[in-house]
């Protein structure tokens, strides 16, 4: 049976030619908890199912630095690697994939130019193309709009309709973040995740709001219907290990990969 994936996300910044994981992580066994490659290796050892790097500066200058981070990580971590943040062209995507990323994640660039999703699919195959959607619940309580610029700008796009469109255009996966839940540690937006997951025939990664292991179970179960969970702080700060999360999910009856 296909297992539910647990995907730690590393938010990376670049300053003075130096890549850093935002806030760092609190793994005791790392020499440098702010080094993205060290963090990736720690998650590889813990048995994370995949890894996501997000360049939160999303600047052109940072891109070459991200390519180097990806290349160094791919030499050491033999697990699927997704890279997002500031990718705007097929050439940007190619640079990441050639460096060793398995998937690239498009967000604002796909909204500005939806043809970019088609072009990515044509060039690399749907399995390489993740579309990240940042969504906020509308005042009606029953629908969600797409936001850009970290939740500051509201786009005239319904989140479910946009998910359907990018799936049609050739995305292989959706990384869905609830801007309402993100950072709250109050749990994922189950209604949003369920609505998107039901609407599309491609896998959905739920993101934003994980505070406890029960939150992971809820969004991966019938209430949320996600195929995978993205989480940062509950793992970064040693609150839980990947193995603990998997044991918990297994006890809830969810299929997970045992960590060897």
Partner 1 sequence: MSIKIGVIDYGAGNLQSVRNALRALGRESVLVADAASMEDGVDALIFPGVGAFGDTMSTLRERGLVEPLRAWIRAERPFLGICIGYQVLFEGSEESPGVEGLGVFSGQVVRLRAPGLKIPHMGWNEARLRHPADPLWDGLGAAPHVYFVHSYHPQPVDDALIAATTDYGTSFASAIRWESGAAVQFHPEKSQELGLRLLANFLHLAEAQSAGAGVSAPV
From 106, 99, 98, 5, select the one nearest 50 (Cα to Cα).
5
Question: Within 38-97, which residues bind partner 1 (CB under 8 A)?
Answer: 44, 47, 49, 71, 74-76, 78-80, 97
Q: Is 102 in the site for partner 1 (CB under 8 A)?
A: yes
Question: Within 5-24, which residues bind partner 1 (CB under 8 A)?
Answer: 5
DSSP state string for 114-127: THHHHHHHHHH-GG
Q: Which is nearer to partner 1, 97 or 111 (CB)?
A: 97
- Are 39 and 27 in contact by the 8 Å Cβ rule? The answer is yes
186 counts as catalytic: no
Q: Is 199 in the site for partner 1 (CB under 8 A)?
A: no
Q: Is 254 in the site for partner 1 (CB under 8 A)?
A: no
Query: What DSSP designation does 33 have?
Result: T
Find the shortest distance in angstroms from Cβ 93 to partner 1.
12
Total chain residues near partner 1 (CB under 8 A)? 36
- Are 248 and 213 in contact by the 8 Å Cβ rule? The answer is yes
- Are 211 and 238 in contact by the 8 Å Cβ rule? The answer is no
Nearest-5° angle of CA 156, CA 160, CA 164? 105
Q: Is 209 in the site for partner 1 (CB under 8 A)?
A: no
16 counts as catalytic: no
The contact set with partner 1 (CB under 8 A) reads 1-5, 44, 47, 49, 71, 74-76, 78-80, 97-102, 124-128, 172-173, 201-203, 227-228, 257-258, 260
């Amino acid at each position: 049976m296909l297992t539910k994936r647990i995907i730690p996300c590393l938010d990376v910044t670049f300053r003075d030619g130096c890549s850093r994981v935002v806030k760092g992580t609190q793994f005791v066994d790392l020499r440098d908890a702010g080094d993205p490659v060290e963090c990736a290796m720690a998650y590889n050892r813990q048995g994370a199912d995949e890894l996501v790097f997000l360049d939160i500066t999303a600047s052109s200058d940072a891109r070459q630095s991200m390519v180097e981070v990806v290349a160094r990580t791919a030499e050491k971590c033999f697990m699927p690697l997704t890279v997002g943040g500031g990718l705007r062209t097929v050439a940007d995507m190619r640079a990441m994939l050639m460096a060793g990323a398995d998937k690239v994640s498009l967000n604002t660039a796909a909204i500005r130019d939806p043809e970019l999703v088609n072009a990515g699919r044509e060039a690399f195959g749907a399995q390489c193309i993740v579309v990240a959607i940042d969504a906020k619940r509308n005042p009606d309580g029953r629908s969600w709009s797409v936001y850009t610029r970290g939740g500051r700008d509201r786009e005239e796009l319904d989140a479910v309709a946009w998910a359907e469109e990018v799936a049609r255009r050739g995305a292989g996966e959706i990384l869905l973040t609830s801007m309402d839940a993100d950072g709250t540690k109050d749990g994922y937006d189950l209604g949003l995740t369920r609505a998107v997951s039901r609407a599309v025939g491609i896998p959905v990664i739920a993101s934003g709001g994980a505070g406890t292991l029960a939150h992971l179970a809820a969004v991966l179960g019938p209430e949320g219907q996600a195929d995978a969970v993205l989480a940062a702080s509950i793992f970064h700060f040693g609150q839980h290990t990947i193995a603990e999360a998997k044991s918990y999910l297994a006890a809830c009856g969810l299929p997970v990969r045992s960590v060897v």
